[in-house]
Amino acid sequence: MKFPEGSFERTGREVAASPLAMFECGVCWQVYDPTEGDPIGQVPAGTAFADLPENWVCPGCEAARERFLLLDDGND
């Protein structure tokens, strides 16, 4: 999957991310880990960031998905 690099900064560049990639909120630093999902948002474990519902928001601060940055591509 490709995601905007630094999307909350609107750089326009894209980065590739694996389904195991973790993303971090650029507002409150909450980490979305696909192996854990989001119990608050009722997202089951194993759900990749790319597969989150369009209306999903950060469970820590309710920021939009576009505010998240690629933290780890899951390939280390």
Number of H helices, E strands in the chain: 0, 5
User: What is the C-alpha to C-alpha distance for residues 11 and 76, in angstroms, rounded to an integer?
Assistant: 25
- This prediction has a pTM of 0.75
Handedness of CA 47, 50, 51, 54 (dihedral sign): positive
In the prediction, which pLDDT does 30 show? 96
Tell me, rounded to whole angstroms, the distance of Cα 65 from its chain centroid.
Answer: 6
Nearest to 15 by CA among 70, 75, 72, 74: 70
pLDDT digits (tens, 9 = 90+) for 36-68: 999 999 999 999 999 999 999 999 999 999 899
More confident residue, 30 or 71: 30
User: What confidence category does residue 75 fall into, taking pLDDT thresholds of 50, 70 and 90?
Assistant: low
CATH of 2-72, one of 2.60.40.10, 2.60.120.380, 3.40.640.10, 2.20.28.10: 2.20.28.10
In the prediction, which pLDDT does 11 show? 46
In the prediction, which pLDDT does 45 show? 97
